[in-house]
Amino acid sequence: MRIFGIVGYKNAGKTGLMERLVTEITGRGFTVSTLKHAHHSFDIDHPGKDSYRHRAAGAQQVLLASKARWALMTEIRNADEPPLAALLQKLDPVDLVLVEGYKRDAHPKVEAFRGATGNPLIANDDATIKAIASDTELTSDRPVFDLNNTTAIADFILTEVGL
């Protein structure tokens, strides 16, 4: 499965770039899935709902299904967070998986960068970052794209993964 990541510090524009890339790449006829890493606890379920009650009662997995979609929730409980490779195996085959986060993993990535955040470039110390998408002019040994030039960034990613 082809994967490519989008990384960057908080408020760097990662999610907006991911959203635009999914729209651009699926608009070209490719199938895309996404995987997002969250650094905090999250819940896609709500107290009082049946599926929430199932999990709260101790179910290891709860599969919620309707005619529009299905979602499988797995409780980690006291186990370690699964690595990216294990999570990728849970996805159905597609042309491309875009990964938001997992900046320490070895897959190729584009760094989203906003100058106003005052953060340093991750790319300076990370060879897995193949390009930078920035809202400010930068000098780098890697390609630098305008953060809002989704077409050029998509072209780069698709070329890099061989699509």
Please report whether residue 56 resides in a domain: no
Number of structural domains the chain divides into: 1
Where residue 95 sits, what CATH number does that domain have? 3.40.50.300
- What is the predicted pLDDT for the residue at 40? 65
Please report whether residue 68 resides in a domain: no
Question: Burial of 48 by CB count in 10 Å (0-12 exposed, 13-18 middle, 19+ buried)?
Answer: exposed
Phi, psi of 116 (to 5 degrees): -65, -20
- What is the predicted pLDDT for the residue at 46? 82
Element (H, E) at 21: helix 14-27
- Distance, CA of 113 to chain centre: 15
> What span, in angstroms and rounded, lies between the C-alpha atoms of 97 and 91?
9
Q: How many CB atoms are located within 10 Å of the residue 157 CB? A: 24
- What is the predicted pLDDT for the residue at 45? 80
Please report whether residue 32 resides in a domain: yes
Q: How many CB atoms are located within 10 Å of the residue 156 CB? A: 18
Residues found in the chain: 163
Please report whether residue 20 resides in a domain: yes
- What is the predicted pLDDT for the residue at 44? 77
- Maximum Cα interatomic distance, the chain, rounded to a whole number of Å: 54
Please report whether residue 152 resides in a domain: yes
Please report whether residue 28 resides in a domain: yes
pLDDT in tens, the chain (163 residues): 899 999 999 999 999 999 999 999 999 999 999 999 986 666 778 888 898 899 889 999 998 899 999 989 898 888 899 999 999 999 999 999 999 999 999 999 999 999 999 999 999 999 999 999 999 999 999 999 999 999 999 999 999 999 9
Please report whether residue 49 resides in a domain: no
Please report whether residue 48 resides in a domain: no
Give the structural domain span for 126.
Answer: 3-41+80-161
Two tokens, residue 18: 């991911």
